[in-house]
């Protein structure tokens, strides 16, 4: 058969469906191929159609099987591309939006005074950062995170209270679903290697962690103190780096605990100066 005829034998969705149906009915590749040849298909085209169709189908099935169901996530009201959002006691600026993964960079989330107050209250309570250890459900020092940090209790002081109410309104997510605010301090050389903020469903400690509030479904990282160089928040899957500008914040959400959310992110090494952030992680349900 010449190449002109081959070109006319397009692999249509109907043909793909027929091939998958035959395979599911238990016919071997040989039988399906013979059947295609008998109805006039060129052998090369038929073999190629079968290979690509069945491979794509198997991948689709694997992805479907491995993916947890999506859950509702916090959503700032940005459908109509507003420049500003009313966060109750403050007009927050919408600086940049990414659709997939859902990322919003905000400006004017905190005043300079609020940033200073949070840093001053956190400084005497800093300790080398721990991360939740999903193998056991406990906490451990993590070599991927060379910052030091502390947690505020929810509503612990007036600035924390005001900020938590502001974030709940900005992100349309109940205050009670938020973990306590975490403050992190990075010196030059300190970084937070790329990671996902959700708890890995395959780790044995995760079911224990999830009993309190369910999965994390969103993160907002707020910049309290800006380094002169380095220290951006990076999203390697989409080659994005958010500048750690004081008073600004980056928000992102993940509707399933899976890398397909493309929410891998990290804190790039600080090169010069100091970086201070406040992170609020948002859970599916009340976090008590
Ligand atoms: O400091 C950051 O930019 C950063 C990067 C990745 C913070 C977090 N993750 C976090 O607090 O989860
Ligand atoms: Zn993170």
Distance 192 CA to ligand 2 centre (A): 8
pLDDT for the residue numbered 134: 66
Q: Supply the pLDDT for residue 69.
A: 84
Span from the CA of 234 to the centroid of ligand 1 (angstroms): 9
From 267, 270, 276, 281, give the residue whose CB has the most ligand 1 atoms within 8 Å, as the site to mutate.
267
Q: Residue 97 CB: number of other CB atoms within 10 A? A: 12
Same domain membership, residue 19 and residue 132: no
Say if residue 256 is in the same domain as residue 127. yes
Per-residue pLDDT of the chain in tens (288 residues, 90 and over written 9): 444 445 467 888 899 999 999 988 888 888 999 999 999 999 999 998 998 898 776 667 656 667 888 999 999 999 999 999 999 999 999 999 999 999 999 999 999 999 999 999 999 999 876 666 666 666 655 666 778 999 999 999 999 999 999 999 999 999 999 999 999 999 999 999 999 999 999 999 999 999 999 999 999 999 999 999 999 999 999 999 999 999 999 999 999 999 999 999 999 999 999 999 999 999 999 999
Residue 32 lies in a domain: yes
Give the torsion sign (CA, 170, 171, 172, 175). negative
* 31 falls within a domain: yes
Residues 6+ apart with CB under 8 A from 33: 43, 46, 47, 50
Nearest to 172 by CA among 254, 85, 70: 85
Residue 53 within any structural domain of the chain: yes
Identify whether residues 10 and 95 lie together within a single domain: no
74 falls within a domain: no
For residue 63, the CA-to-ligand 1 centroid distance in Å is 28
Q: What is the CATH number of the domain that holds 110?
A: 2.60.120.620
Using CA atoms, how far apart are residues 178 and 164, in angstroms rounded to an integer? 8
Cα gap 96→93, rounded to integer Å: 9
- Check whether residue 258 and residue 215 sit in a common domain: yes
Number of domains in the chain: 2
Instruction: Indicate whether 125 belongs to any domain.
Output: yes
143 in the same domain as 273: yes
What's the whole-model pTM score? 0.78
Which distant-in-sequence residues (6+ apart) come within 8 Å of 154 by Cβ? Answer: 160, 164, 175, 178, 179, 180, 181
Mark whether 141 and 222 lie in a shared domain: yes
Tell me, yes or no, whether 266 and 204 share the same domain: yes
Q: Which of 179, 272, 193 is nearest to 225 (CA)?
A: 272
**Tokens 């035959």 correspond to what residue?**
22
Pocket of ligand 1 from Cβ distances under 6 Å: 184, 192, 197, 219, 221, 233, 265-267, 277, 279
Q: Is the CB of residue 226 less than 8 Å from the CB of residue 275?
A: yes
Cα 218 to averaged position of ligand 2 atoms, centre (Å): 10
Ligand number, closest to the Cα atom of 266: 1
Q: In degrees rounded to 5, what are phi and psi of residue 287? A: -110, 105
pLDDT attached to residue 56: 78
Residue-range definition of the domain harbouring residue 131: 84-283
Structure letter (DSSP) for residue 178? B
For residue 61, the model assigns a pLDDT of: 64
- Distance between terminal CA atoms of the chain? 70
The verdict on 40 and 113 lying in the same domain is no
> Is 251 within a domain?
yes
How far apart are the C-alpha atoms of 85 and 109, rounded to whole Å?
Answer: 10
Q: Is residue 77 domain-resident?
A: no
CA distances from 45 to 41, 50, 136, 197 (A): 7, 9, 53, 45
């Amino acid at each position: 058969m010449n190449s002109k005829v081959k070109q006319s034998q397009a692999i249509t969705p109907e043909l793909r469906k027929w091939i998958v149906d035959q395979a599911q009915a238990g016919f071997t590749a040989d039988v399906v191929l013979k059947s295609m040849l008998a109805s006039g298909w060129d052998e090369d085209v038929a073999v190629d159609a079968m290979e690509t169709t069945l491979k794509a189908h198997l991948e689709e099935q694997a992805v479907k099987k491995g993916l947890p169901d999506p859950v509702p996530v916090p959503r700032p009201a940005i459908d109509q591309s507003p420049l500003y959002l009313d966060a109750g006691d403050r007009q927050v600026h919408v600086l940049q939006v990414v659709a997939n993964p859902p990322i919003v960079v905000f400006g004017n989330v905190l005043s300079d005074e609020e940033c200073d107050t949070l840093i001053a209250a956190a400084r005497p309570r800093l300790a080398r950062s721990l991360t939740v250890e999903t193998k056991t459900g406990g906490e451990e020092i993590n070599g991927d995170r060379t910052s030091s940090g502390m947690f505020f209790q929810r509503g612990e002081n007036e600035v924390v209270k005001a900020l938590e109410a502001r974030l709940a309104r900005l992100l349309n997510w109940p205050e009670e679903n938020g973990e306590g605010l975490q403050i992190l301090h990075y010196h030059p050389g300190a970084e937070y290697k790329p990671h996902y903020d959700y708890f890995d469903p395959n780790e044995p400690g995760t079911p224990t962690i999830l009993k309190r509030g369910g999965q994390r479904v969103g993160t907002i990282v707020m910049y309290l103190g800006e380094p002169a160089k380095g220290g951006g928040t990076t999203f390697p899957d989409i080659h994005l780096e958010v500048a750690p500008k004081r008073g600004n914040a980056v928000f992102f959400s993940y509707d399933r605990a899976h890398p397909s959310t493309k929410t891998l992110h990290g804190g790039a090494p600080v090169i010069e100066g100091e970086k201070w952030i406040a992170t609020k992680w948002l859970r599916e349900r009340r976090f008590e």
